[in-house]
Amino acid sequence: MTSRSDPADRPPSYLAGYEQQWRADPRAAALAWFREAKYGLFLHYGLYSLPGRHEWVQFREKIPVAEYAKLQEQFTAEKFDAERIADFAVDCGMKYVNLTTRHHDSFCLFDTRETPFNSMNAPAGRDLVDELATACARRGLGLCLYYSHGRDWKHPHAPNNDEWGGNARPDYDPPEPSYAYGDEHDLQIYLDFVTAQVTELLTNYGPIAAIWLDGIATPLSGDWSVFKCQELYDLIHRLQPAVLVSYKQGLLGTEDFAAPEHKAVDTQGKPGEICTTMCPGAWGYMASATGRHKTADEVWEALREARRQGFNLLLNTGPRPDGSLDPEDEPVLRQVGARLRREGFPGE
């Protein structure tokens, strides 16, 4: 893993052109950049990519934790090429890339001290976040980091179904033996784990454009104050003053931007980003959906609608099990990029 520091005398590469604003107020400069970025690449990649049956395969099929964890032994990421991904994003007309650093299954694509359940301990033996951070910095792309906050299907003390509704955990019968229950369950242990991992992500990979939290349905199912999200947001901004924070459509109202799925919401004047996916009904690689992905015209219309409402479009593709870009999506998105170069963004 490469440790980087944000140069004190100049902004990160993705904020080129915002130097004066950055010197006066780093986060204001980042917000100005985000409003003008318009288009980003989302990548859902992890262990769930291997079976290719939806990123919620563990939850949907109630695969026991120990059985699901065996997928780590098959995770090679042999064709995950960060340099190629960054070049692809540029060719598509995108200004930033968002990678799932840890999805709900808790498998991490980075070198973390908090759990051995990560890509460094898989056959891949690689820190994919580090590789992508380097590639994005070279090309002036903002790197956003998806992080599952409200759900974790492996950590013993993560939110459970008894307190946080039926979609916090898989509904195992008999109960999953590795989970903590009743008086033994301590949510604070999980929150400390989250804090430690977010600190790693904002300490070890240079300037990060955004921390993109997911799993909002869990805190919305009860008293979300126990999740201490404002403390987490404040930590994020202390670690990197320019980094932006989102939590889907917004939990506290103090997020820097809203990131709803598929359609716009009222952002109360804040920047917004619509996230949607090339694959119908799934974000991770789903083999059964081959041949049914978005066409170039459908992507163009998604861009048009997002821009009409003043939102960015964060468009997801799920890399294949080996980490390569989906061969159905890649030519389509390159075609859209070529059209953007010819015509500019639709409606502008």
The tens digit of pLDDT for each residue in 98-126 reads 999 999 999 999 999 999 999 999 999 99
Q: What is the pLDDT of residues 22-62, one digit of tens each?
A: 999 999 999 999 999 999 999 999 999 999 999 999 999 99
Half-sphere exposure of 206 (CA within 13 A, CB side): 22
What distance in Å separates the CA atoms of residue 338 and residue 344, rounded to the nearest whole number?
Answer: 10
Q: What is the mean pLDDT of residues 140-152?
A: 97
pLDDT (0 to 100) of residue 203 = 98
Q: What is the pLDDT of residues 285-325, one digit of tens each?
A: 999 999 999 999 999 999 999 999 999 999 999 999 999 99
CA 232 and chain centroid, separation: 17
What distance in Å separates the CA atoms of residue 181 and residue 11, rounded to the nearest whole number?
Answer: 47
Q: pLDDT grade, residue 158 (50/70/90)?
A: very high
Q: pLDDT grade, residue 3 (50/70/90)?
A: very low
For the sheet containing 244-247, what is the strand order?
244-247, 210-214, 142-148, 96-102, 39-43, 312-317, 273-277
Q: Which domains does the chain have, with CATH numbers?
A: 28-343 (3.20.20.80)
Half-sphere exposure of 274 (CA within 13 A, CB side): 20
Q: Is the pTM of this model over 0.75?
A: yes
Torsion angle defined by CA atoms of residues 19, 20, 26 and 28, in that order, rounded to the nearest 10 degrees: -120
- Cβ–Cβ under 8 Å, residues 118 and 109: yes
Q: pLDDT grade, residue 8 (50/70/90)?
A: low
Q: How high is the mean pLDDT of the chain? A: 96
Q: What are phi and psi of 269, to 5 degrees?
A: 85, -5
